[in-house]
């Protein structure tokens, strides 16, 4: 997915920029980048972070990056920030999102004889394309509005100029942007977990399509938010950091509610459970909610080794992802042998890693392994935020089960998305059998929506029900 951060300060901003950007590292996969402006001079630094952490890559750069304004990014698309010289003036830009009509926009650009940046992987830079669209208009405001108008998919951005920072949320609000304030500084962030330790207080949650211009003194709205919002529900389920909030709704609070909802739907189940556990880290909050609701012991039969192993979705090679997933979770045999264990997990994507985990648990003497994902089965690949690393949505555990049941015919996906329908029950049973779980019971979509606390029409639930 990726995350972005920006700051305007009356004093040098680089320390806050460095740590504020670093607080988005859990979202990132490929690149980290910083850009600062100092009396008309722009400086930037970009590093590949696939094999190392943001802090270790950028620590040595800080002495040369001085300025009162800056932007940072953790990117899973292209090397950023870009620094642009145009008729609008010099600016730097960072983006997060996914452009589904990239090829069309490139062809339109070629028709207008527009050159594009090539990323380090030989592809057209998504951020460069967005910068080109902005450059064709008569002002930064008009350019950003044009981006929001023509892009299919999602795009939130922060744009650094000599005068201040423009921040623009995706037109349907699929990704968040939040303004923070402290004495002498204003900042904008994707993740509010960046604020507390830097001394910022939340000032404003930007609405869908809203654009603001920010300086060290204040910020002003230059485009009002739209009426329609489709924020990604998965931010609360998995991607978001526990201490972050979106739409003033805390991530950990929602995960606790998700776990409690799973427990309430299990009260009539005649299943003996010795301990409840979360698959670390994102399953932990869900497990707390489940265990407390059913008054069951909440323990850790797995601990996560964090000093050196990155998140398992980061490597591009599936074999390496599996190795990372295996090596980072260390089992505690004393808490596994002779126990019937119920695990809460944020989701089941492909199920490849989970299958190996279940086998290990039984090899260590578990009497039963029960799985309770905090969201419904994934049946559609994300079209908006680069959520899944699956090369095809047919790799999703739900779709593999559907193919086994119905072949390649996809006309009944709607029936599979309905909790407790005949097709849904059959799909879940196939997934359970493939993973060799003792029991498997997914979250109901209406319970997930209730746990978040927003109306369903304000949430993107496409990956679970195919509704755009």
Query: What does the pLDDT look like over 162-217, one tens digit per residue?
Result: 999 999 999 999 999 999 999 999 999 999 999 999 999 999 999 999 999 999 99
Highest mean pLDDT (candidates 25-39, 302-316, 401-415, 445-459)? 445-459
CA distance 163 to 135: 17
Calculate helix-pair angle for 251-264, 284-294, nearest 10 degrees. Answer: 40
Q: Do residues 224 and 276 share a domain? A: no
Confidence band (pLDDT; 50, 70, 90) for 282? confident
Q: Do residues 364 and 313 share a domain? A: yes
Query: Maximum CA pair distance of the chain?
Result: 71
Inform me whether the pLDDT recorded for 320 exceeds 80: no
Element (H, E) at 95: strand 89-99
74, two tokens: 């953790």
Q: Are 179 and 203 within 8 A, CB to CB? A: yes
Count: domains in the chain: 2
3-state secondary structure (DSSP) of residue 17: helix
List Cβ neighbours of 60 (8 Å cut-off, separation of 6 or more).
none
176 located within any domain? yes
433, two tokens: 């059998």
Q: Do residues 273 and 171 share a domain? A: no
Alpha-carbon distances, residue 426 vs 34, 171, 377, 417, 430 (angstroms) = 49, 38, 12, 11, 6
φ, ψ of residue 458 to 5 degrees: the values are -95, 0
CA distance 243 to 97: 22
Q: Do residues 77 and 172 share a domain? A: yes
Q: Do residues 265 and 197 share a domain? A: no
109 located within any domain? yes
Q: Sign of dihedral through CA atoms 346, 348, 349, 354?
A: positive
Q: Do residues 222 and 268 share a domain? A: no
114, two tokens: 């527009």
Q: 75 exposed, middle or buried (CB, 10 Å; 0-12, 13-18, 19+)?
A: buried
Q: Do residues 461 and 365 share a domain? A: yes
Confidence band (pLDDT; 50, 70, 90) for 112? confident
Q: Do residues 58 and 162 share a domain? A: yes
Inform me whether the pLDDT recorded for 322 exceeds 80: no
What is the CATH classification number for the domain harbouring 214? 3.60.20.10
Its domain, for residue 368, covers 252-465
List Cβ neighbours of 405 (8 Å cut-off, separation of 6 or more).
423, 426, 427, 430
Inform me whether the pLDDT recorded for 325 exceeds 70: no
Inform me whether the pLDDT recorded for 312 exceeds 50: no
Read off the pLDDT of residues 388-419 as tens digits, 9 standing for 90 and up.
Answer: 555 578 889 999 999 999 886 566 788 999 99
Strand partners, 373: 345
Q: Are 259 and 369 within 8 A, CB to CB? A: no
414, two tokens: 């709607």
CA distance 351 to 339: 22
Read off the pLDDT of residues 213-248 as tens digits, 9 standing for 90 and up.
Answer: 999 999 999 999 999 999 999 999 999 999 999 999
Confidence band (pLDDT; 50, 70, 90) for 28? confident
What is the CATH classification number for the domain harbouring 386? 3.40.50.2020
CA distance 287 to 370: 12
Alpha-carbon distances, residue 158 vs 4, 115, 194, 245 (angstroms) = 7, 22, 16, 19
Q: Tell me which of 46 and 52 has the higher pLDDT.
A: 46
Confidence (pLDDT) at 313: 46
235 located within any domain? no
């Amino acid at each position: 997915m990726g995350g972005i951060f920006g700051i305007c300060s009356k004093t040098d901003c680089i320390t806050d920029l460095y740590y504020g950007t670093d607080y988005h590292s859990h979202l990132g996969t490929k690149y980290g980048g910083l850009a600062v402006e100092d009396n008309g001079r722009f400086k930037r630094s970009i590093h590949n972070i696939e094999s190392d952490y943001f802090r270790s890559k950028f620590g040595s750069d800080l002495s040369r990056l001085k300025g009162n304004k800056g932007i940072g990014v953790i990117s899973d698309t292209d090397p950023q920030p870009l620094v642009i010289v145009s008729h609008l003036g010099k600016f730097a830009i960072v983006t997060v999102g996914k452009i589904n009509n990239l090829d069309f926009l490139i062809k339109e650009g070629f028709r207008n004889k527009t050159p594009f940046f090539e990323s380090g992987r030989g592809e057209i830079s998504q951020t460069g394309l967005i910068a080109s669209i902005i450059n064709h208009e008569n002002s930064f405001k008009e350019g950003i509005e044009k981006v929001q108008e023509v892009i299919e998919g999602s795009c939130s951005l922060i744009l650094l100029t000599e005068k201040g920072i423009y921040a623009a949320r995706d037109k349907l609000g699929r990704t968040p942007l939040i303004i923070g304030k402290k004495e002498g500084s204003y900042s904008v962030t994707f993740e509010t977990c960046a604020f507390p330790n830097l001394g910022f207080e939340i000032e404003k949650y930007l609405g869908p399509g809203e654009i603001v211009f920010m300086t060290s003194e204040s910020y002003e709205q230059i485009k009002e938010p739209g009426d329609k919002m489709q924020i990604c529900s998965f931010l609360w389920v998995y991607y978001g950091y526990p201490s972050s909030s979106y739409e003033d709704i805390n991530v950990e609070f929602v995960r606790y509610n998700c776990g409690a909802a799973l427990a309430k739907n299990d009260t009539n189940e005649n299943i003996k459970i010795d301990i409840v556990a979360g698959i670390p880290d994102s399953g932990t909050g869900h497990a707390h909610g489940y265990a407390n609701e059913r008054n069951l012991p909440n323990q850790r039969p797995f601990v996560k080794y964090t000093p050196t192993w990155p998140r398992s979705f980061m490597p591009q090679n599936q074999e390496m992802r599996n190795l990372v997933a295996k090596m980072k979770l260390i089992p505690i045999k004393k808490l596994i042998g002779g126990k019937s264990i119920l695990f809460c997990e944020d989701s089941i994507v492909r199920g490849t890693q989970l299958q190996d985990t279940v086998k290990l648990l039984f090899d260590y003497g578990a009497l039963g392994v029960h799985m309770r994902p905090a969201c419904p089965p994934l049946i559609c690949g994300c079209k908006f935020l680069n959520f899944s690393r699956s090369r095809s949505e047919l790799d999703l555990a739900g779709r593999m089960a559907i193919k086994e049941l119905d072949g390649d015919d996809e006309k009944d996906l709607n029936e599979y998305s309905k909790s407790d329908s005949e097709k849904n029950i059959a799909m879940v049973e196939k997934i359970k059998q493939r993973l060799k779980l003792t029991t498997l019971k997914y979250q109901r979509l209406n319970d997930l929506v209730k746990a978040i606390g927003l109306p369903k029409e304000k949430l993107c639930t496409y990956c679970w029900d195919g509704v755009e």
